[in-house]
C-alpha cells in the first residue's frame, strides 16, 4: 500500500509542474494576443484604403493589368498558406491546412495547376510529410511578423503574377489564413488577392448615398497600377500575417487554459486517491496492531493457566 501512495504522490508532483508550465504559457499568450490585436487594428485601415485606391484606378480606366484584369483562360494559380512555427494551439494549424487543401482541390477540379507557398514550419512539415511539392516557404517570424517579412513573402508572388504562365508564372493568387474575430472565435478562410475583384470591392466600399470622386491619373493609369501592385499585395499579406498571429496566440491561450484546468482536475482526483490509499494504509496498520495485541493477550492467558 505504501508503494501505491508513493506513485500517487509522484504523479501529483509531475502534474503540478505541468500545470505551472501551462499556466505560464497561458499568461504569455494572453499578453501577446493583446499586442497582436493592436497591430491588426493599426494595419487594417491602410490595407482597406489601398484596396479602395486600386479599385478607383481599375474602375476609372480601361487599362488591362494583372492587378485588376482576369485572364481569359486561367491555367495556373498560386495559393499562399499561413500557419505557425509552433504548435500547442489547438486546431489552429489543422483548420488552416484543411482550408488550403479544400481550395487546392477546388482549383484542380477547375483544371488549374496549383503552386503552393507556405509560411510557418507546421504547414511545411505537413506538406513535406505527405511528399507534396512546395513552391517556396518561409518561417521564423509567425509569432511577431513585421512589414519586412510581408515584403519578403510578397516578392516571389508578385514576380509570379507578372510572369507569363508559359514561362512559369500564375494567373491568379489566393491566400489562406486565420481571421481573428474575437478572443474566442477565429476562423480559417481563403481569399483571392489577384486579380482584384472590382465588382465586389466596389459594392462594399461606398456607403449609401456616398458620391464617388472623379480621378485623373498621372502619368497614366497603368503606371499607377504598376506602383500600387507591390504595395497592395504587401499590405494584404501583412494584415493576414497579423491576423494569423493574433489568432494563433488566442488559440494558444485557450488551449493552455484548458490544459491548466484539466491538470487541476487531475490533481484533485489523484489527491483523493492518495488520501484513500493513506487511509487504507492506516486502517491496515491499526488492524495489525489490534490483531497483535489480541494474540499477545491470548498467549498471556494461556501461560497463566
- What is the pLDDT at residue 60? 59
Q: What is the pTM of this model?
A: 0.80
Residue 211 pLDDT > 60 = no
- What is the pLDDT at residue 33? 87
d(CA 273, CA 40): 48
- Sole residue written with cell 494549424: 93
For residue 78, the tally of other CB atoms under 10 A from its CB is 25
- What is the pLDDT at residue 199? 52
d(CA 113, CA 110): 9
- What is the pLDDT at residue 6? 84
d(CA 86, CA 242): 16
Residue 208 pLDDT > 50 = no
Report CA torsion sign: 137, 196, 168, 115.
positive
- The distance of Cα 185 from the centroid of its chain, to the nearest Å, equals 12
Q: What is the DSSP letter of 66?
A: T
- What is the pLDDT at residue 58? 66
Residue 24 pLDDT > 50 = yes
**Spatial contact of 109 and 148, defined as CB atoms under 8 Å apart:** no
d(CA 143, CA 39): 12
Report which of residues 229 and 108 the model is more confident about.
108
For residue 93, report the phi and psi dihedrals to the nearest 5 degrees: -70, -40
Average pLDDT over residues 181-202: 77
In the chain, how many H helices and how many E strands? Answer: 6, 5
Q: Biggest alpha carbon distance in the chain?
A: 128
- What is the pLDDT at residue 296? 73
177, β-bridge pairs: 189
Amino acid at each position: 500500500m505504501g508503494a501505491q501512495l508513493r506513485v500517487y504522490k509522484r504523479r501529483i508532483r509531475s502534474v503540478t509542474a505541468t500545470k505551472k508550465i501551462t499556466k505560464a504559457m497561458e499568461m504569455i499568450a494572453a499578453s501577446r494576443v493583446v499586442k497582436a490585436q493592436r497591430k491588426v487594428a493599426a494595419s487594417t485601415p491602410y490595407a482597406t484604403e489601398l484596396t479602395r485606391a486600386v479599385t478607383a484606378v481599375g474602375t476609372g480606366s480601361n487599362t488591362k493589368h494583372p492587378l485588376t484584369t482576369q485572364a481569359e483562360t486561367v491555367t495556373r494559380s498560386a495559393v499562399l498558406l499561413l500557419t505557425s512555427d509552433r504548435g500547442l494551439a489547438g486546431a489552429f494549424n489543422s483548420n488552416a491546412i484543411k482550408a488550403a487543401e479544400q481550395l487546392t482541390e477546388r482549383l484542380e477540379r477547375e483544371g488549374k495547376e496549383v503552386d503552393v507557398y507556405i509560411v510557418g514550419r507546421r504547414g511545411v512539415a505537413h506538406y513535406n510529410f505527405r511528399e507534396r511539392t512546395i513552391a517556396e516557404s518561409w518561417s521564423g517570424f509567425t509569432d511577431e511578423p513585421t512589414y519586412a517579412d510581408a515584403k519578403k513573402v510578397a516578392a516571389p508572388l508578385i514576380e509570379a503574377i507578372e510572369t507569363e504562365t508559359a514561362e512559369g508564372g500564375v494567373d491568379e493568387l489566393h491566400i489562406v489564413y486565420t481571421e481573428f474575430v474575437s478572443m474566442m472565435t477565429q476562423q480559417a478562410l481563403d481569399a483571392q488577392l489577384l486579380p482584384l475583384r472590382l465588382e465586389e470591392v466596389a459594392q462594399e466600399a461606398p456607403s449609401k448615398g456616398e458620391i464617388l470622386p472623379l480621378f485623373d491619373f498621372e502619368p497614366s493609369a497603368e503606371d499607377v497600377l504598376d506602383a500600387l501592385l507591390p504595395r497592395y499585395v504587401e499590405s494584404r499579406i501583412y494584415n493576414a500575417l497579423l491576423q494569423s498571429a493574433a489568432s494563433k496566440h488566442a488559440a494558444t491561450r485557450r488551449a493552455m487554459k484548458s490544459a491548466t484546468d484539466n491538470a487541476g482536475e487531475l490533481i484533485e482526483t489523484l489527491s483523493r486517491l492518495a488520501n484513500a490509499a493513506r487511509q487504507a494504509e492506516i486502517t491496515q496498520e491499526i488492524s495489525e496492531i489490534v490483531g497483535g495485541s489480541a494474540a499477545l493477550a491470548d498467549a498471556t492467558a494461556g501461560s497463566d493457566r
